[in-house]
Amino acid sequence: MNKLVCITGLTGSGKSVASDYFVKQGFQFFRFGQIVLDEVKKRNLDPIESNERPIREELRSKHGMAAMAILNLPKIKQLIRKSDTLGDGLYSFEEYKVLKEEFGNKLITIAVYAPPVIRYKRLTMRKLHSEDKDLRNRPATQEAAKSRDFAEIENLNKGGTIAMADYTILNTKDIKYFNSQLKEIYEKITSKKI
């Protein structure tokens, strides 16, 4: 039975790196928030938090707090029929509950954690590259990252999703340490019969 693995965590924690690991292992990929970034591009706006947040909130006011899961559900169902699938950027606890109800024990969540001081340093060092068409690695100032953290915890109920994760990875050291945790989780996930 194919699995749906969803990565959650705050901005700059390493969600994209974790997602890429699973993609390299053969998982199909989708990004929950790509809907927002596609709308940012469609409106000819810069991919910065002050432009993204109103669109995220607009979608949630229209579709509820589970908006990103609901809007991505047709894509997820199509992907999971073919093979194991990785969803990058699970946000709200309501999204988690929709996916849990839909996919049951096929849903596996992984929280990626790094403390704010580490995440903010990473985000300020990022550069926006023209080959990053999906805007996966956007830079942010410390102030913008902190504001986003508070908004995701207070307004988007992200804390519950992180707290309920099946696995938690600490991204506080080097990439070798990070990858060793990913490998261990990957092996546990793929050895489970669902």
Q: What is the domain extent for residue 176?
A: 4-191
Q: What is the pLDDT of residue 134?
A: 57
Measured distance CA(135)–CA(128) in Å, rounded: 8
Which H or E run includes 5? strand 4-8
Please tell me the total count of domains within the chain: 1
Q: What is the pLDDT of residue 137?
A: 65
Measured distance CA(84)–CA(26) in Å, rounded: 8
Whether residue 177 contacts residue 83, with contact meaning beta carbons closer than 8 Å, is answered with no
- How confident is residue 131, by pLDDT bands cut at 50, 70 and 90? low
- How confident is residue 48, by pLDDT bands cut at 50, 70 and 90? confident
Q: Is the pTM of this model over 0.85?
A: yes
Segments of 42-140 assigned E as strands: 85-88, 107-113
Task: Kindly list the distances between the CA atom of residue 78 and the CA atoms of 28, 62, 81, 82, 163, in Å, as whole numbers in the listed order.
Answer: 11, 24, 6, 7, 28
CATH code at position 79:
3.40.50.300
Mean per-residue pLDDT, 56-65: 92
- How confident is residue 47, by pLDDT bands cut at 50, 70 and 90? confident
Paired tokens of 136: 């996966």
pLDDT at residue 136 is higher than 70:
no
Task: Kindly list the distances between the CA atom of residue 5 and the CA atoms of 65, 102, 182, in Å, as whole numbers in the listed order.
Answer: 20, 13, 12
Measured distance CA(87)–CA(28) in Å, rounded: 9
Lowest mean pLDDT among 122-126, 134-138, 186-190: 134-138
- How confident is residue 129, by pLDDT bands cut at 50, 70 and 90? low
Which tens digits make up the pLDDT trace of 78-119? 999 999 999 999 999 999 999 999 999 999 999 999 999 999
